A and B are shown apart, each in its own frame.
Chain A
Amino acid sequence: MAKQTIIPFGPQHPVLPEPVHLDLVVEDETVVQAIPRIGFVHRGLEKLVEKKDYTQFVFVTERICGICSFGHSLGYSQTIEHLMGIEVPPRAEYLRVILHELSRVHSHLLWLGLGADAFGFENLFMQCWRIRERVLDIFEKTTGGRVVLSACNVGGTLYDIDDETLKGICATLDVVRREYDAILGAFLNDYSVRSRLEGVGYLSQQQARDLSIVGPFARASNVNNDVRCLRQGGYAYLESFEPIMSDGGDCLARVIVRAKEVYQSIDIIKELAAKIPAGPVMNAPKGKPAAGTQASMRLEQPRGECYYYAKGNGSMFLERMRIRTPTSQNLGGLVVALAGCDLADVPNIVLTIDPCISCTER
């Protein structure tokens, strides 16, 4: 038997935008086992509910993660709305889904870029991020922020987007789609790219199910757990919704699922923008969450299902806030997918689960 060596990977590593540490047990060039260690980004945000009241806390949830920032504020707001029985105006529900799906487009483009960087295709990375800037411009125009939007609060949205601007957004998305069409071929058909992705980091359907994998990572192993299928909130207004699946189970399948989801999100935004009703966008909450009330909520974030739980105690402050984020589920799958891979494929596989460490550690 070859000698086993442990190679540390991270926390500061060029392919990782975020600090995570992996101890890679290798035999020659093959990874036998990967042992993750986290805790570099833990801030203790769940405990911050004791210091920030429930209307302020939404701004904290936004900063759980800068990539799915809007999603977290949406999930939190929906949980508190459940808790206090607040009705959200329909226009706000539409706007929320539009902004959330725009976030997904930006998140997936960001990820496709990082993925390209991980398999050594620098140009493609730049192209993805160039297209992504168009989405950020939409954010900046409508909410003022590029990354952290502060657009959602308990009871609705803080800003309205007028119909003229919505038309402009759809027009911009057409441009995004055109430009995206032009680069997508490199991900799907380029033989060097395929050779880096095909059959690498395999996770079977059974494993994905056993490990409760969520999001595109699971859908690439043919497990459907897209929370959007439940048609909560604004998703109820969609004509139809079909999750995007693949049965490949490897890195290529994960790229394909996310790549197609960009188109899906663009379609969702355009459908909703075309039929958004007029009306107010905010039904400001009154009172405090009653003592002993509990509520939970699930939301499909770009990286998968995120679970929110809140408990009131009769004051402006919540008793408990719990958030289970997609990456904390998916790390289990990552360890399985890494076992047996080549050392040179590690960055690739780590990235294809689209890890978000600051979500995981909060």
Chain B
Amino acid sequence: MSHSSKSPWLIHYDASSCNGCDIEVLACLTPMYDVERFGIINTGNPKHADIFLVTGSVNDQNIKVVQQIYEQMREPKVVIACGVCACSGGIFKECYNTLGGVDMAIPVDVYAPGCAVRPEAIIDAVVKGLGILEQKRAALDAAKSKKKEA
């Protein structure tokens, strides 16, 4: 594992969550769970981020915002859906203004269930995301060296 992949930077966006999952994402960063000790930093800039944490389901208004943030992020990148809302629409699935989970808008790599999602589950998902990030990086590297050979 290359050293750079161990300390991913996160960006968090609240699609249409109830806040429950958002404050749990923030709780991960504060002293009780403190993921910052692993160098995991919450950034506001999509181009700085490796991992995209999305909470809440998507609707017609915010689907574009979610896609925009995703597109601005540089490769390799990993998307984590936090909470059942983000996974599938959850309790809001039947609402008239909800399209469904985040995978309606962008490809999702890791699903972290729970309503609200527990900080432990988020941390687990990020660790899982690290592995995926590494695979994606390896794939990119392989593609690059192939190009060089050719």
Please pick, from A19, A64, A110, A145, the residue contacting B14 in the complex, using a CB distance under 8 A. A19
Size of B's binding interface in residues, CB under 8 A: 36
Bound Cα distance A41, B21 (Å): 14
Question: Which stretch from A85-93, A125-133, A283-291, A334-342 is at the chain B interface?
Answer: A125-133
Known contacts A17-B26, A43-B92, A66-B23: A12-B69 contact under CB 8 Å: yes
Please pick, from A47, A69, A113, the residue contacting B20 in the complex, using a CB distance under 8 A. A69
Contact with B along A134-168 (1 / 0, CB 8 A): 00100000000111100000000000000000000
Please pick, from B17, B19, B97, the residue contacting A44 in the complex, using a CB distance under 8 A. B97
Size of A's binding interface in residues, CB under 8 A: 42
Please pick, from B16, B30, B44, B69, the residue contacting A40 in the complex, using a CB distance under 8 A. B16
Q: Does A67 contact B (CB under 8 A)?
A: yes
| A-B contacts at CB below 8 angstroms, number | 119
Q: Are B30 and A129 in contact (CB under 8 A)?
A: yes
Please pick, from A14, A18, A126, A127, the residue contacting B22 in the complex, using a CB distance under 8 A. A18
Chain A residue numbers with a CB within 8 Å of B143 are none
Residues 1-23 (chain A) with a chain B CB within 8 angstroms: 11-14, 17-19
Known contacts A66-B18, A130-B31, A133-B32: A146-B62 contact under CB 8 Å: no
Q: Does B57 contact A (CB under 8 A)?
A: yes
Q: Are A148 and B97 in contact (CB under 8 A)?
A: no
CB distance from A123 to the nearest CB of B (A): 10
Bound Cα distance A63, B59 (Å): 17
Q: Are B116 and A130 in contact (CB under 8 A)?
A: no
Known contacts A12-B13, A14-B44: A42-B19 contact under CB 8 Å: no
Q: Are A64 and B18 in contact (CB under 8 A)?
A: yes
Q: Does A348 contact B (CB under 8 A)?
A: no
Q: Does B127 contact A (CB under 8 A)?
A: no
Q: Does A25 contact B (CB under 8 A)?
A: no
